[in-house]
Every structure is written in C-alpha cells, then in structure tokens.
C-alpha cells in the first residue's frame, strides 16, 4: 500500500492565558482536556491537549503557553486558524452558545457548506463547519450534550504566498489530492475527504509574513500509521530537499518536523501509542504528566506553572 500522511493529527497554537484557554475549549466548546503536560523542549511552559474522549488523532487541538512571548500576527507562511466539525443542524446552537459566552459570531459558507466564525480568547480564528456527515462521536461533556458536540478538526487553512508549490509537495510527497477551488482557495483532501481529512490552501502572493507569538498557530501535524510509515515519508522529503527532522519520541506519538515551501511548520505524527500510555480513560487530563527525564524536577516544574482552575 502506498504510504501517505492521511488526514489531520493535531494542530498546535500559542496561548497567553492558559486558564482562559482551558475555559474556552472545555466549558464553551465542550472538548475534553485529555493531557496536561509541558513543552518537552521547555518544561517551564504548559502544553495542553484538547480532544475527544480518548484524544483520537484528528480531534486534537494543543496549546503552548508562552508567558513572555508577545502577540503574534497571522499571515503568510502560517496556518490561519482552527476548523472544527459540527453536526449538520447544530450551527444555531453554537451561535447562541458562543454569544452567551461573550464571543463574537459571524456566519458564512465554504464550498457550499455553512460555517460560523468566532475568535478564541487569544484571538485565534475558530470556524465551526457543518454540512458534511461526520460519524466521529466527539466528547460528551457536562457542558455540551448530544447531539451538538463537536466532532473534531474539520480541516485547516494554510496561508502561503505560492499555493501551487505547497500543493505540489502535499500531493507528490504526502499523497494528498487537490479536488476543488473557490475564491483563491484550493481544497486538498486525503482519504475520502471527510472532516479531518482536508486542507484549504489560500494563496496570498503579496501577503505579509506571519509573526510567531500568542494568538497564532505554531504547527500542524498530519497523521501517519506508524513509525515505519513516518520514516518512509521522511526519506521521501529528504530526497526532495525538504530537510526533515529525525523521528522524535513525543511519548504520545512519534514526530518528524519539516517546513513546506511556503514556510509553514508541518509535522508527521504517528497514530499511536496515544494518550492512554500514562493515564486511564477516566483520568485523562486530570494530572500534570511529565516525560521521565523531567520527573525528578516535578515539584519545581509544577510550582512554576500557573493554576488552571477557572
């Protein structure tokens, strides 16, 4: 079988306020906090993961807390926001819920499907899209009951100066397919093109480059089946001159990082081993989890992190 990076695994963004971040993604959007850990490259910063009950790839939004970072600016060479999938007839529910929570709400449509646009507490655009059948169950929380719970990521919007070059890499090296175009936007899909398996490339030839910081997306991860698949894709990227990182153990998945031609940091993340390697399904996200190298410093790391209590 041909090896491809089939579908979205997670998206990682940067927050200035982890407490407001947790409140918005759990209490307002009804996602589950499936892992509270630290940035494995900088244990002074939270790394928070939200998703469905088990943290299934394709449902995961993750956030670094960069306390000292300035506010970023979304622009060319970045993922431009978050897209979440909602049941078909739930947009009115979500519009009302967001307004009650004090969030802005505008409406629109994309490739014929209706959507809502809001902003998270850091100003990151969050789109809630309906109109596509999505059999994923989502997370049934006390805050959002069936049938309205969000199902996971729908897609992601990549803003680049030259969408053609980015599209070429995704198609020729990672196995995606360009299937539609609309108003400066190209849609690429993997698998059957269901929610969680599409990317929108927005070409902005004169666009200002984005600036990293809070309120921006740090990187986007695509799924691979396992480590050998990632290694094969890594070799393919290397042969094409893309300078991928080595395969890195991220405890919950194995990762390869590279920049696509438009400058966006992409990751290839394995589906396994998943979020149950160090917690039970019942206790996911309840406790600060640290990789073994940081365990001896748990007390100091924990004391330096801000409280997440609402």
Sites of contact with Zn ion (CB under 5 A): 12, 221, 267
Residue 37: C-alpha distances to residues 29, 49, 224, 272, 306 (Å)? 21, 8, 23, 18, 12
Report how far residue 158's alpha carbon sits from residue 77's, in angstroms, rounded to the nearest whole number. 8
Minimum distance from CB of 275 to Zn ion (Å)?
A: 13
CB of 27 or CB of 259, closer to Zn ion: 259
Judge contact between 277 and 283, C-beta under 8 A.
no
CB of 157 or CB of 267, closer to Zn ion: 267
Judge contact between 104 and 24, C-beta under 8 A.
no
Minimum distance from CB of 250 to Zn ion (Å)?
A: 7
Question: What tokens were used for 190?
Answer: 């993997």
Alpha helices in 103-191 (DSSP H): 163-172
Minimum distance from CB of 11 to Zn ion (Å)?
A: 8
Report how far residue 85's alpha carbon sits from residue 190's, in angstroms, rounded to the nearest whole number. 16
Q: In DSSP terms, which residues pair with 139 in a beta bridge?
A: none
Q: What are the DSSP calls for 9-78, one per residue?
A: EEEEEEES-HHHHHIIIIIIT--EEEEEEEETTEEEEEEEEEESTT--TTSEEEEEE-TT--B-B--BTE
CB of 77 or CB of 193, closer to Zn ion: 77
Residue 224: C-alpha distances to residues 24, 234, 252 (Å)? 29, 11, 13
CB of 40 or CB of 93, closer to Zn ion: 40
227 phi and psi, to 5 degrees?
A: -60, -45
Cα 51–55–59 angle (5° rounding)? 50
CB of 62 or CB of 118, closer to Zn ion: 62
Residue 38: C-alpha distances to residues 44, 133, 156 (Å)? 7, 35, 24
Question: What tokens were used for 123?
Answer: 């100003």
Minimum distance from CB of 153 to Zn ion (Å)?
A: 13
CB of 163 or CB of 269, closer to Zn ion: 269
Minimum distance from CB of 221 to Zn ion (Å)?
A: 4
Minimum distance from CB of 51 to Zn ion (Å)?
A: 13
CB of 200 or CB of 267, closer to Zn ion: 267
CB of 94 or CB of 252, closer to Zn ion: 252
Minimum distance from CB of 62 to Zn ion (Å)?
A: 6
Minimum distance from CB of 254 to Zn ion (Å)?
A: 11
């Amino acid at each position: 079988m041909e090896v491809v990076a089939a579908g979205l695994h997670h998206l990682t963004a940067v927050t200035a306020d982890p407490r407001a971040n947790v409140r918005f993604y759990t209490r307002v959007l009804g996602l589950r906090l499936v892992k509270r850990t630290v940035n494995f490259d900088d244990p002074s910063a939270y790394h928070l993961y939200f998703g469905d009950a088990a943290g299934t790839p394709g449902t995961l939004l993750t956030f670094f807390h960069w306390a000292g970072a300035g506010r970023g600016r979304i622009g060319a060479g970045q993922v431009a926001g978050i897209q979440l999938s909602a049941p078909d007839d739930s947009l009115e529910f979500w519009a009302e819920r967001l307004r009650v929570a004090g969030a802005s709400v505008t409406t629109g449509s994309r490739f014929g499907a209706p959507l809502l646009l809001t902003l998270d507490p850091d100003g990151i655009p969050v789109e809630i899209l309906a109109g596509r059948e999505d059999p994923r169950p989502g997370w049934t929380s006390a805050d959002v009951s069936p049938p309205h719970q969000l199902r996971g990521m729908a897609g992601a919007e990549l803003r680049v100066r030259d969408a053609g070059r980015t599209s070429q890499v995704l198609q020729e090296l990672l196995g995606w397919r360009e299937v539609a175009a609309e108003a400066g936007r190209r849609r690429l899909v993997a698998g059957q093109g269901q929610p969680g398996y599409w990317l929108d490339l927005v070409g902005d030839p004169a666009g200002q480059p984005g600036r990293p910081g809070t309120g921006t997306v740090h990187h986007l991860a695509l799924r691979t089946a396992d480590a050998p698949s990632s290694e094969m894709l890594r070799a393919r990227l290397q042969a094409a001159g893309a300078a991928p990182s080595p395969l890195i153990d991220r405890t919950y998945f194995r990762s390869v990082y590279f920049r696509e031609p438009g400058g966006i940091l992409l990751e290839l993340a394995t589906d396994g081993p998943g979020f149950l390697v160090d917690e039970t399904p019942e206790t996911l996200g309840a406790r600060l989890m640290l990789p073994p190298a940081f365990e001896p410093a748990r007390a100091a790391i924990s004391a330096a992190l801000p409280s997440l209590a609402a």
